[in-house]
Amino acid sequence: MTDPIKLINVSHYYSQGLPVQVAAVKNINLTIKAGEAVGIIGHTGSGKSTLISHFNGLLKPSEGTVLVDGEDIHKDKETLRRSRFKIGLCFQYPESQLFEETVAKDIAFGPGNMGLSDSEIALRVERAAEFVGLKRELLSKSPFDLSGGEKRRAAIAGVMAMEPEVLVLDEPAAGLDPRGKNEILRMIMNYREQTGSTIVFVSHSMEDIAATAERIIVMNHGEIALEGTVDEVFSHGESLRTMGLNVPEITRIFMMLRQRGIDVPSNIYSVEEGARILRGLAEGRRG
């Protein structure tokens, strides 16, 4: 089986030829396998958004090739168009894309562009709204009357409704309060479980990435600095710190505990899990 997304030696320069030329991504080799949940993390300006804009051909690499299902995405217009529907890209602050009179119509924009039948579109709108947890009565409202969190969900639903093979989300939880953030993350994981689709998502937060991704790609100055499972990447605490990133607080605490000779696992990424271990430890000592 061919991989849904494969990047070969991809580099991208902004303002090419001007003195302000920026190499936003350099020499990226990357494969996204079917069914994976991949997290992309990196400091501000490390090229994450630039990288994912290559996945569906919005940006054309200055050097290198992007393959979608084994086909060069920029081969012809038709391939490019098909790839747009295969790879669903949801940008940072996607609520700025809302434009229709009603939420339902806005969610239907993507499926409508795919040329689906009306009944199929209606079905998909309903399904997508359910995935993101938008209440039915909101569907007939104007998208501009929704709250910030609801707008975000409506916008994500607009991409989900295309039912892409790979769903790519750029900081889906940015700018939301902790509860809204957790809900969005839960909703994405839920979507993945139910549809079995591939997920790529970008985040600043190590906690979020650890909770949701199976594989992590760490970007630094436009290059892939680290890549591997959550455990593998977090074991490089030092080099993450030099890139302006950090392992989750709770993981750091457990690493420090280990340094003091207390026998606890080092791969603890959530507070709940950490609390459970510590409780067990305390009971063990008492008992």
Partner 1 sequence: MVRDITFGQYYPGSSAVHKMDARMKFVLTFGMIVCIFVCRNFFSLGLMVLFTSAAVAVSRIPLKMILKSIKPVAVILIFTGILNIFYTKGGETWFSFWKISVTEKGVYTAVFTMIRIIVLVIISSLLTYTTTPTMLTDALERLLSPLKVFHIKVHTLAMMMTLALRFIPTLIEEIERIMNAQKARGADLESGGLIRRAKALIPVFVPLMVSSFRRAYELAFAMTCRCYTGGDGRTRMKQMKLGLRDFIALTVCLAVLAGIITLNHFFPKVI
Ligand X SMILES: Nc1ncnc2c1ncn2[C@@H]1O[C@H](COP(=O)(O)OP(=O)(O)OP(=O)(O)O)[C@@H](O)[C@H]1O
48 binds ligand X (CB under 6 A): yes
Q: In what order do the strands lie in the sheet with 87-90?
A: 87-90, 166-170, 198-203, 37-42, 215-220, 223-229
49 binds ligand X (CB under 6 A): yes
Please choose which of ligand X, Mg ion, partner 1, none residue 65 contacts, taking the beta carbon within 5 to 8 angstroms, the exact cut-off set by kind: none
Q: Are 254 and 210 in contact (CB under 8 A)?
A: no
Per partner kind, with CB cut-offs from 5 to 8 A, the member of Mg ion, partner 1, ligand X, none near residue 200 is none
Residue 162 beta carbon to partner 1: minimum distance, rounded to whole angstroms? 7
Name the minimum Å distance from CB 47 to ligand X: 4
Q: Choosing among Mg ion, partner 1, ligand X, none, which partner's interface includes residue 96 (Cβ < 5 to 8 Å by kind)?
A: partner 1
Give least dist CB 170 to Mg ion, A. Answer: 6
**Long-range pairs of 247-253 with CB within 8 A, sequence gap ≥ 24:** 247/206, 248/206, 248/207, 248/210, 249/207, 250/274, 251/206, 251/210
Taking the least distance from each CB to ligand X, the nearer of 26 and 151 is 26
Answer yes or no: are the C-beta atoms of 197 and 88 closer than 8 Å: no
Report if residue 235 touches Mg ion, rule: CB under 5 A.
no
Q: Which of 16, 31, 45, 148 binds ligand X (CB under 6 A)?
A: 45
Contact 235, 266 (CB under 8 A): yes
Binding residues among 65-124 for partner 1 as defined by CB under 8 A:
81, 84-85, 88-91, 94, 96-99, 109-110, 113-114
Amino acid at the residue 172: P
26 binds ligand X per the rule CB under 6 A: no
Based on the shown chain and the rule CB under 8 A, indicate whether residue 13 belongs to the binding site for partner 1.
Answer: no
**Interface residues toward partner 1, by CB under 8 A:** 14-15, 18-20, 53, 56, 58, 81, 84-85, 88-91, 94, 96-99, 109-110, 113-114, 144, 158-159, 162
**Interface residues toward ligand X, by CB under 6 A:** 14-15, 22, 24, 42, 44-50, 92
